[in-house]
């Protein structure tokens, strides 16, 4: 396809943009304790929709922003739809396995990396498990899956603009079809997210819990923390009408000085900024603008084995068709870890953490294996497939979201029976 550069500064600039965006994502995720799995698990455990509402706002604003950039001719439409993947059984099955495994392991692909960078040993084992799971997928599952995809068995065969909602709805890709589709997809997501947050915070107000209080942010983010477990000494007055929680000048100062975590919606907004940096900066150079953590994290095993003379890309299925070793998205993952480590170190959060229950280490590793298998079956993780696909104005992200919710709920049921 023809390259259509938006910013013609060359690949050095693209690598710099991807690296900076990765650093921002790691920093923000660490400071905001931003985890897709916790946002979903809190629906089942604490009946809280605050962080899940933030996810919907993230998806909605991403769709609106990228759609506007395409509709106004700033970014070519091809950059939005080029990497829309095929749709098939594998997205539903893979997202279900991923949601189940990530819940057991204690983090999605984003939180796995920033928590590992913050010293959580369990998440390091999850990352290693994901490498093993990727290898299992490559050897045992990918040959069958690729056959069904190539043959169109419970699968589409084209992807790209065929999976692009502006084309699917209007049968034509133009500025107006993209703009209208972005509004149809983005506005309801943002509205629903705001509604769920407002409803949840009103319920918190009845308990006397403040969404903007640092002590409650991380507590309510945990999938195993109930509302009544928060110490009464941390309960201030809530402002449920504030979408950012209780933010005042002192809070802003303390967030800048890394004394308190970022509010969930501030984190959401900053993550959208990182996405847009890559979407604009990488236009014409790379179309994998947020295909991170699942492909690159899972391929770390390949990088580890290379110094020992083992090159999985030469003869192992999937590896020889995956992204190049030297790729902007690889740098993004590395810088995400660097950003999270820097934030945790400067804020005083960094600490080597070993769970009290040593079985959590084994569970983290086994969950990581399921994460690796799930994201590869689904062709991407909660970042590279779900969030990115909303920004691509595709429909695979919607199906991934529904199936992942099912996997998270199933894992919580299993955990409840094991406790």
Cβ contacts of 324 within 8 Å, gap of 6 or more: none
What the block records as the tokens of 385 is: 């497939």
State pLDDT tens for residues 296-336.
666 778 878 888 888 888 878 888 766 555 678 888 888 99
250-273 average pLDDT score: 91
Q: Which of 163-167, 280-284, 297-301, 400-404 has the highest mean pLDDT?
A: 400-404
222-237 average pLDDT score: 36
Whole-number average pLDDT of the chain: 85
Q: How high is the pLDDT of residue 162?
A: 82
| Category of 4 on φ-ψ map: left (φ > 0), alpha (ψ -120 to 50) or beta | beta
| Cα angle 95-225-358, degrees, rounded to a multiple of 5 | 75
Mean pLDDT check: name the lowest of 118-122, 253-257, 264-268, 363-367. 253-257
Q: What is the pTM of this model?
A: 0.89
State pLDDT tens for residues 128-162.
999 999 999 999 999 999 999 989 999 987 776 78
Q: How high is the pLDDT of residue 233?
A: 33
Q: How high is the pLDDT of residue 189?
A: 98
Q: How high is the pLDDT of residue 272?
A: 96
C-alpha–C-alpha distance, residues 148 and 199, integer Å: 44
State pLDDT tens for residues 263-294.
999 999 999 999 999 898 888 776 545 555 55
- In this structure, the number of other CB atoms found within 10 A of the CB of residue 286 comes to 21
C-alpha–C-alpha distance, residues 218 and 42, integer Å: 12
Look at residue 207 and tell me whether its pLDDT is greater than 70: yes
- In this structure, the number of other CB atoms found within 10 A of the CB of residue 231 comes to 9
More reliable by pLDDT, 232 or 203: 203
Mean pLDDT check: name the lowest of 13-22, 130-139, 211-220, 314-323. 211-220
Sign of the Cα torsion 383, 386, 388, 390 reads negative
C-alpha–C-alpha distance, residues 177 and 222, integer Å: 41
Instruction: Indicate the domain borders of the chain.
Output: 11-418
More reliable by pLDDT, 249 or 390: 390
Q: How confident is the model at residue 230 (pLDDT cuts 50, 70, 90)?
A: very low
Q: How high is the pLDDT of residue 3?
A: 53
236-256 average pLDDT score: 60
Q: How high is the pLDDT of residue 52?
A: 97
Q: How confident is the model at residue 248 (pLDDT cuts 50, 70, 90)?
A: confident
C-alpha–C-alpha distance, residues 36 and 107, integer Å: 8
Q: How high is the pLDDT of residue 412?
A: 95
What the block records as the tokens of 171 is: 């049968």
C-alpha–C-alpha distance, residues 58 and 272, integer Å: 7
Look at residue 411 and tell me whether its pLDDT is greater than 70: yes
Q: How high is the pLDDT of residue 303?
A: 79
| Cα angle 80-85-330, degrees, rounded to a multiple of 5 | 75
Mean pLDDT check: name the lowest of 77-91, 286-300, 350-364. 286-300
| Rg of the chain (C-alpha set) | 21
Q: How high is the pLDDT of residue 243?
A: 46
């Amino acid at each position: 396809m023809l390259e259509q550069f938006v910013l013609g500064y060359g690949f050095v600039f693209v690598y710099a943009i991807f690296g900076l965006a990765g650093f921002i994502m790691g920093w923000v995720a660490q400071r905001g304790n931003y985890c897709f799995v916790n946002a979903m698990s809190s629906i089942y455990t604490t009946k809280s929709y605050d962080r899940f509402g933030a996810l919907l706002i993230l998806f909605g604003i991403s769709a609106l922003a990228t759609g506007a950039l395409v509709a106004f001719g700033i970014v070519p439409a091809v950059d939005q739809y080029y990497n829309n993947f095929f749709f098939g059984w594998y997205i539903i099955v893979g997202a279900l396995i991923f949601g189940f495994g990530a819940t057991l392991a204690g983090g999605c692909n984003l939180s796995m990396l920033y928590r590992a960078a913050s010293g959580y040993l369990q998440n390091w084992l999850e990352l290693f498990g994901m490498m093993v799971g990727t290898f299992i997928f490559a050897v045992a599952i990918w040959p069958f899956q690729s056959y069904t995809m190539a043959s169109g068995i419970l699968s589409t065969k084209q992807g790209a603009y065929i999976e692009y909602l502006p084309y699917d709805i209007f049968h034509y890709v133009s500025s107006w079809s993209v703009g209208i589709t972005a509004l149809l997809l983005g506005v309801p997501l943002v509205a629903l997210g705001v509604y769920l947050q407002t409803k949840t915070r009103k319920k918190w107000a009845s308990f006397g819990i403040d969404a903007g209080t640092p002590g409650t942010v991380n507590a309510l983010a945990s999938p195993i923390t109930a509302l009544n477990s928060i110490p009464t000494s941390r309960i201030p007055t809530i402002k449920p009408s504030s979408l950012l929680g209780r933010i005042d000048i002192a809070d802003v100062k303390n967030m800048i000085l890394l004394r308190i975590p970022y509010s969930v919606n501030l984190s959401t907004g900053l993550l959208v900024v990182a996405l847009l940096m890559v979407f604009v900066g990488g236009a014409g150079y790379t179309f994998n603008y947020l295909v991170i953590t699942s492909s690159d994290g899972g391929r770390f095993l390949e990088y580890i084995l290379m110094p020992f003379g083992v090159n999985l890309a030469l003869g192992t299925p999937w590896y020889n068709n995956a992204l190049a070793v030297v790729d902007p998205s690889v740098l993004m993952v590395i810088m995400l870890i660097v950003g999270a480590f820097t934030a945790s170190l400067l804020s005083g959060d960094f600490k080597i953490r070993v769970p009290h229950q040593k079985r959590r280490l084994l569970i983290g590793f086994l969950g990581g294996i399921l994460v690796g298998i799930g994201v590869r079956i689904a062709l991407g993780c909660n970042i590279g497939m779900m969030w990115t696909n909303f920004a691509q104005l595709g429909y695979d992200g919607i199906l991934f979201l529904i199936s992942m919710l099912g996997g998270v709920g199933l894992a919580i049921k299993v955990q409840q029976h094991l406790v």
